[in-house]
Every structure is written in structure tokens, then in C-alpha cells.
Amino acid sequence: MSATLIDGKGFAASVREKVATHVARLKDEHGITPGLAVVLVGEDPARQVYVRNKGKQTVEVGMNSIEHKLNADTPEDVLLDLIATLNADPEVHGILVQLPFPGHLDEDLVINSIDPAKDVDGFHFSNVGLLSTGQRSIVPCTPLGCLMMLRAHHGSLSGLDAVVIGRSNIVGKPMANLLLGDSCTVTIAHSRTKDLTEVVRRADIVVAAVGRPEMIPGDWIKPGPTVIDVGINRIDAPEKGDGKTRLVGDCDFARFSGFAGAITPVSGGVGPMTIACPLANTVTACRRANGLAEPDGLTA
Ligand code: GUN
């Protein structure tokens, strides 16, 4: 069997098109331009590129992009003051503080200081609680992107066995809640799971989000499941020359391709959706803030 590739890049482009259409309507019909504020603390080059790409795509879909780059040693109260200012700014509909933070900052305190209605990451405890009780919330971007791709590929997910590998607040836990919401039978596996091979073998859907390069061998799965590889890991690639690197997922892609029914590649899979979904959530937040109906095709 050779797996179908799930085209996250194309899918993200279609999400951005929908976002752009909504933005144009908000401007034309209501005189509102959605605004997304992104806060980056520190100088990590990979995060800087990510934030720059987010800003570029925010502008491309017609929204206002507000970027705040703070030094790595920014005191916590300065960051909290900035968030309070963004919370109070009516032109800002979405706020995203790039994680992880430098160690002196209390991640929970900072995240929970964001107005939940503007929390386009869906990390505030009230959004987490709303999602896990099946109420309307803002849904974390990476799991939202994975869910959109799974729904597009499968249609209904009802009754499918889904195994989420990884229990992070950013991906694993919200992903499990979303799959449960779509009536999957969900298992969350993690580093202490006994007999992970057996757990993975029964899956119709595997979502791998452990952040360890090619940790999951392809022959763990039964023939045919859909595999969403959230991992983006940089490893040495001596075959490409001295000092060269390449990106790999959490799954051993070459071997998985022989067993899976469908799989997201690393580069062009989940990654592009992690930039498109904050834009979608900003439109959602903006429409809600203005008492407008939910945007078609952009929410869970
Ligand atoms: N770092 C890795 N993933 C994410 C994400 O989805 N949101 C934020 N804010 N930071 C991240």
C-alpha cells in the first residue's frame, strides 16, 4: 500500500481564502477590520521566522497585524501590562503570545491574563474548560487544523478509533477532546503508556504529537489508518553535506507510507495549518465580539 498524501499546504491555502472572504465581508458590510496581535518574547531564530510568517499571512488576508517583540529578559509585569493594553484595545480581536517563554515567566499566569474572547490560541483555562465540556470555545490552532484535515479526508469520524500520542496542553489534550466531540473512541498515549505498539495497532486515526524525531515506526500500525504527524523535528543530515540538517516528523515517514491509508508529510502537512488557523480564530473572535454569526468552515 502507498499512502495518500494529505496536502496541508493546499488545505491551509483554502482556509486562508475563506478567511480573506470573511475579512472582506467584515470590512464591506460592517466597517470592521479584524486585528491579530502577536507577542514574541526572546530572540529564538525559529520562532522569529514563524512569527514573521504569521504577520505576513495576516496582512495577506486583509487583517491588521500587530507585532510586539520583547527582549528575552522582559520582566513579567511588563508583559502583563502589554497584554492588559491589548485586551482593552477594540482594534485587537486576537492575541497570541508565542510559546515557549523564557524560564523567568510564569506561562500559566501569562496565558490566563489574556481576555478569553481574544485568546486565539485557545489556551486560557476558560477556553480549555469550554472545549472539554462541549461548549462554544476558541479551539487551539494545531488541533483545529488537524481536525479540519481529518474531516475533509474522512467525512464523518464517528465511531473511529483515534490514538493521540502526546498529552500536551497545546496539541494532545485538545486534540483528544475534539476527536471525542466528533464521536471517535479516543486513547491518549504518552511516554508511560504500556505496550504503545498494541495501542497504536488498533487505531483508525493516529495523531502523533510527541516532538521526538521518527520515534514511531511505521510497522506499528495496521494497514490503512490516517496518520497526522504534528512533529517538526530538525535532525542532522550528513548525507546532504557537512553541518546540514533536515526536518522529520514524529513518525518514520518512509515506513509509514507503506502501511498508512493517508498521511501528512512533514513540510507541507500540519505546519501550514498552524499558521492558517490563528487567522481563522481571529475572524471567529472578531465576529463573536461584534455579535455576528459563526464563520462557515472556520470553526470546530
Ligand atoms: N508554540 C508552539 N505551538 C504554539 C501555538 O500553537 N501557539 C503559541 N502561542 N505558541 C506555540
Pocket test for ligand 1, best of 49, 170, 233 (most atoms within 8 A of CB): 170
Q: Whose CA is nearest to atom 1 of ligand 1?
A: 99
Nearest to 100 by CA among 83, 66, 123, 67: 123
pLDDT of 222 over the 90 cut: yes
Pocket test for ligand 1, best of 99, 123, 128, 138 (most atoms within 8 A of CB): 99
pLDDT of 228 over the 80 cut: yes
Q: What is the mean pLDDT of residues 122-137?
A: 98
Counting residues of the chain whose pLDDT is more than 70, the rounded percentage is 100
The 8-class DSSP code of residue 187 comes to E
Cell of 146: 488537524
Grade residue 273 by pLDDT with cuts at 50, 70 and 90. very high
CATH superfamily of 141-270: NAD(P)-binding Rossmann-like Domain (3.40.50.720)
Beta bridge partners of 35: 64
| CA 224 to ligand 1 centroid distance, Å | 30
pLDDT of 1 over the 70 cut: no
Tell me, what's the pLDDT at 85? 98
Q: What is the mean pLDDT of residues 38-42?
A: 98
Q: What is the mean pLDDT of residues 161-166?
A: 98
For residue 232, give every residue at least 6 positions away whose Cβ sits within 8 Å of its Cβ, in sequence order, or none.
247, 249, 266, 270, 271
The number of angstroms, rounded, from the C-alpha of 11 to the middle of its chain's C-alpha atoms is 14
Binding-site residues, ligand 1, Cβ < 6 A: 96-99, 121, 141-142, 170
Cell of 165: 500520542
| CA 29 to ligand 1 centroid distance, Å | 32
What is the CATH number that goes with domain 29-121? 3.40.50.10860
Pocket test for ligand 1, best of 50, 121, 230 (most atoms within 8 A of CB): 121
Q: Whose CA is nearest to atom 8 of ligand 1?
A: 98
pTM: 0.96
> DSSP letters along 52-117, please?
HHHHHHHHHTT-EEEEEEE-TT--HHHHHHHHHHHHH-TT--EEEEPSSPPTTS-HHHHHTTS-GG
**Chain-wide mean pLDDT for the chain?**
96
Measured CA to CA, the distance from residue 172 to residue 178 in angstroms comes to: 10
Mode of pairing for the β-strands spanning 94-97 and 161-165: unpaired
| CA 99 to ligand 1 centroid distance, Å | 5
The residues assigned a catalytic role are 54, 98, 121
Nearest to 163 by CA among 142, 134, 190, 181: 190
Tell me, what's the pLDDT at 73? 97
Cell of 213: 524525531
Q: Taking CA 199 as the corner, what is the angle to CA 194 and CA 200, rounded to the nearest 5 degrees?
A: 125
> Which of 25-34, 88-97, 251-260, 286-295 is predicted with the least confidence, judged by mean pLDDT?
251-260
| CA 54 to ligand 1 centroid distance, Å | 11
Q: Comparing 29-121 with 141-270, is the CATH topology the same? A: yes
The tens digit of pLDDT for each residue in 167-181 reads 999 999 999 999 999
| CA 198 to ligand 1 centroid distance, Å | 31
| CA 98 to ligand 1 centroid distance, Å | 5
Q: What is the mean pLDDT of residues 229-251?
A: 95
The single residue listed with the C-alpha cell 514524529 is: 250
Write 52-60 long-range contacts (CB < 8 A, 24+): 53/275, 54/96, 54/275, 54/278, 57/16, 57/275, 57/276, 57/279, 58/279, 58/282, 60/16, 60/20
The tens digit of pLDDT for each residue in 17-27 reads 999 999 999 99
Tell me, what's the pLDDT at 218? 85
For residue 130, give every residue at least 6 positions away whose Cβ sits within 8 Å of its Cβ, in sequence order, or none.
136, 137
Pocket test for ligand 1, best of 53, 79, 98, 139 (most atoms within 8 A of CB): 98
Beta bridge partners of 64: 35
> Which numbered atom of ligand 1 lies nearest the CA of 47?
1
Measured CA to CA, the distance from residue 278 to residue 288 in angstroms comes to: 15
Cell of 285: 473572535
Q: Whose CA is nearest to atom 11 of ligand 1?
A: 99
Grade residue 99 by pLDDT with cuts at 50, 70 and 90. very high
Q: What is the mean pLDDT of residues 220-231?
A: 95
Q: Whose CA is nearest to atom 4 of ligand 1?
A: 99
Tell me, what's the pLDDT at 2? 85
Run of H or E including 151: helix 141-154
Tell me, what's the pLDDT at 40? 98
| CA 67 to ligand 1 centroid distance, Å | 15
> Which numbered atom of ligand 1 lies nearest the CA of 140?
6
The single residue listed with the C-alpha cell 526572546 is: 42
Residue 270 has phi, psi (to 5 degrees) of -70, -35
> Which numbered atom of ligand 1 lies nearest the CA of 96?
9
Q: Provide the residue ranges of all domains of the chain, joining segments of one domain with +.
A: 29-121, 141-270
pLDDT of 288 over the 80 cut: yes
